């Protein structure tokens, strides 16, 4: 079986790694040569090992193929070059400007829910409306332990676990297939043990509720939630830092919830007004 592009390691070598990435992106040698502004012959020679790339060429091809920063480092390593892109922990001082911006965006999105996740859907930051929407108790340790024991607060598990938000989702059967398919696609992209394990956990939680095969990936997921005998209708948008030069920053996602009817808008506005008067 031919390995996926994201299974590349140093033993695979640059030539095969480049070819696999190009095939995964469904780009021809001609298309890649035009995008990277090199000859098609040079692309062919790079993929057969007849030519060796410069560091600049690896970066140019990575940009043309829209390869994630984490994998660009691995592609550089496979060509014999040192990594270029840094990876700081989320709490590192270097990412403080990013965290400050995210905090401002979370507050700005009130009264509607929003939270920040890492690439494994672990919740790193959230605004106060999330607790309201998901009915998370103030002392949430026991709540999250029931979902994932000693694991971190995970948004994917929150939405699929019977002890999480799942019982509140009125259209669960409708949205679960494209949701799990999205995580499957990400697991193929990352090809790390954590991503693969998360998909396995979700499949076990979902069971035989729906057929996950051949389900389309939707641009947004319409969610209908039952909260306090009120049906809330929302849609979600996931945003990322498109110009990030740090691996951790690039992999962060901001998921924001937007109301799609007046009842939902009024619900969140009323909760905000109530908090202001307290």
Asked whether the domain spanning 93-277 has the same topology as the one spanning 5-78, the reply is no
Looking at residue 220, what is its pLDDT?
66
Looking at residue 108, what is its pLDDT?
95
If we measure between CA atoms, which residue out of 11, 170, 173, 3 comes closest to residue 80? 11
Looking at residue 262, what is its pLDDT?
96
**Per-residue pLDDT for 27 more than 90?**
yes
**Averaged pLDDT, 120-132:** 90
Look at 2 and 47; give whichever has higher pLDDT.
47
If we measure between CA atoms, which residue out of 15, 8, 20 comes closest to residue 49? 15
Any idea of the CA torsion for 240, 245, 248, 252, to the nearest 10 degrees? -10
**Per-residue pLDDT for 211 more than 70?**
no
Q: Helices marked H in the chain — which ranges?
A: 14-24, 29-36, 40-48, 55-64, 69-78, 96-109, 128-134, 141-148, 155-160, 172-190, 193-206, 247-251, 262-277
Looking at residue 10, what is its pLDDT?
40
**Per-residue pLDDT for 6 more than 50?**
no
37-71 tens-digit pLDDT: 999 999 999 999 999 999 999 999 999 999 999 99
What is the fold of 93-277?
Answer: Beta-Lactamase (3.30.450)
Looking at residue 270, what is its pLDDT?
87
Looking at residue 3, what is its pLDDT?
44
Looking at residue 98, what is its pLDDT?
94
228: left (phi over 0), alpha (psi -120 to 50) or beta: left
Looking at residue 9, what is its pLDDT?
44
**Per-residue pLDDT for 11 more than 80?**
no
Looking at residue 4, what is its pLDDT?
46
Looking at residue 32, what is its pLDDT?
95
Q: What superfamily would CATH give domain 5-78? A: lambda repressor-like DNA-binding domains (1.10.260.40)
**Among the listed ranges 87-91, 101-105, 226-230, which one has the minimum average pLDDT value?**
226-230
pLDDT band, residue 94 (cuts 50/70/90): very high
Domain-by-domain residue ranges, the chain?
5-78, 93-277
254-272 tens-digit pLDDT: 999 999 999 999 999 887 6
128-182 tens-digit pLDDT: 898 878 777 666 777 777 787 767 889 999 999 988 889 999 999 888 888 888 8
If we measure between CA atoms, which residue out of 101, 35, 86, 26 comes closest to residue 62? 35
Looking at residue 8, what is its pLDDT?
42
């Amino acid at each position: 079986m031919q390995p996926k592009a994201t299974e590349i390691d140093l033993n695979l070598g640059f030539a095969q790694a480049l070819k696999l990435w190009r095939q995964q992106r469904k780009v021809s040698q001609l298309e890649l040569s035009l995008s990277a502004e090199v000859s098609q012959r040079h692309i062919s020679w790079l993929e057969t090992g007849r030519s060796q790339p410069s560091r600049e060429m690896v970066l140019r091809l990575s940009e043309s193929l829209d390869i994630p920063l984490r994998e660009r480092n691995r592609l550089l390593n496979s060509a014999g070059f040192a990594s270029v892109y840094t990876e700081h922990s989320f709490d590192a001082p270097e990412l403080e400007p990013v965290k400050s911006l995210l905090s401002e965006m979370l507050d700005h999105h009130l009264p509607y829910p929003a939270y920040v996740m890492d690439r494994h859907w672990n919740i790193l930051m959230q605004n106060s409306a999330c607790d309201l929407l998901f009915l998370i108790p103030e002392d949430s340790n026991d709540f999250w332990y029931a979902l994932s024991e000693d694991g971190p607060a995970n948004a994917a598990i929150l939405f699929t676990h019977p002890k999480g938000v799942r019982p509140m989702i009125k259209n669960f059967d409708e949205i679960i297939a494209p949701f799990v398919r999205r995580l499957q696609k990400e697991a193929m992209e990352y090809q790390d043990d954590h991503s693969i394990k998360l998909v396995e956990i979700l499949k076990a939680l979902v069971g035989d509720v729906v057929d996950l095969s051949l389900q389309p990936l939707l641009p947004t997921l319409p969610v209908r939630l039952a909260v306090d005998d009120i049906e809330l209708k929302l849609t979600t948008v996931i945003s990322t830092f498109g110009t990030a030069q740090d691996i951790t920053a690039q992999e962060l996602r901001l998921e924001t919830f937007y109301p799609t009817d007046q009842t939902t808008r009024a619900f969140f506005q009323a909760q905000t007004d109530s908090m202001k008067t307290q």
